[in-house]
Structure 1
Amino acid sequence: MEDTRHPHYARHRFPAEVTSYAMWLYFLFPLSLRMVEEMLAARGLLVSHETVRQWALKFGQSFANQIRRRLPAPRDKWHLDEVVISIAGQKHWLWRAVDQHGDRARYSGSESPQCQATKRLLRKLLKKQGSAPRVMITDKLASYGAAKREIMPGVEHRQHRGLNNRAENSPKPTRRRERFKSAGQAQRFLSVHDQVANLFRRPANTDAADHRRSRAQAFQDWTEVTGAAAGF
């Protein structure tokens, strides 16, 4: 394995390839820190789970920001949904926004999905995405309609549970990772996880050849973002 010394990893004990591989495992797959430690150990790399955690804190958001700039702009149809998760024995709400091609963004919060909380969600999405959608699809929660009328009055709003399967299915990988200790930790993880997942997501309605090309491009982008390949 080549001992790459990218500027990101100055004064780090391990080569960049190890850090890149660990971050790829942790943020893309439903693995705990200790699982990543064991997978690295199977390859002869003695990296503690605490080191992996520190790498995630140091590099994760920077990687996510670079990936976001590389991905296409969000499409014009948003599917929004919310789900309750438990953090340290308390209820928190996880909000999901998914476009019609599957790219997603999520936000955690301690407030129940009343009108004021929903307004804050829509403002965050507008700021993050840069423009309003053409269509917003939600379930029949009343606060969506009230918030939409104030924040995005010109946007078409469709409320029907069956139309929102895309958003309702999006938290499945996260439900295997729900051992968050705080809402802040959840948000830090999700903000990186969703961008990595968007980068490596398989486009809909593609054949095997297109999927291989898409995956190869994703790995090339990952190498450029992290300064090292996601494997060795």
Structure 2
Amino acid sequence: MPRKIVTDQLRSYPAAKAEIAELVNVKHVFVKASARLNNRAENSHQPTRERERRMRGFRDPKRTQVFLSSFGPIKQHFALRRHLLRASLYRKQLGESFAAWHRFTDLTQDPSAF
């Protein structure tokens, strides 16, 4: 049996509560819902939430955190501000980013190349 019921200020809740005999003596608390409080649609656009959405396959939070801590800097290497660049400059910078990435990964895969 709940001790109290917390709802927003919709007037149909007390009427529905009155129809259930077990809930007659349960305290009903009204909470004013402020705009965009716990708005999942807005939270889903935050960078961490976007990365978590990509990593839904991970079940272990520690493993997810390990991945995200290394994935963030790598993503930033390729995340150019596309809306601020002309198409030709964007292609050039993205090409340079990929070239640098290939150089780095080739060096780390073959330590004798240092």
Report 1 or 2 for greater relative contact order, CA contacts < 8 Å, sequence distance ≥ 6.
Answer: 1
TM range (shorter): 0.3 to 0.5
TM-score if structure 1 supplies the norm length? Answer: 0.25
Bigger share in strand: 1
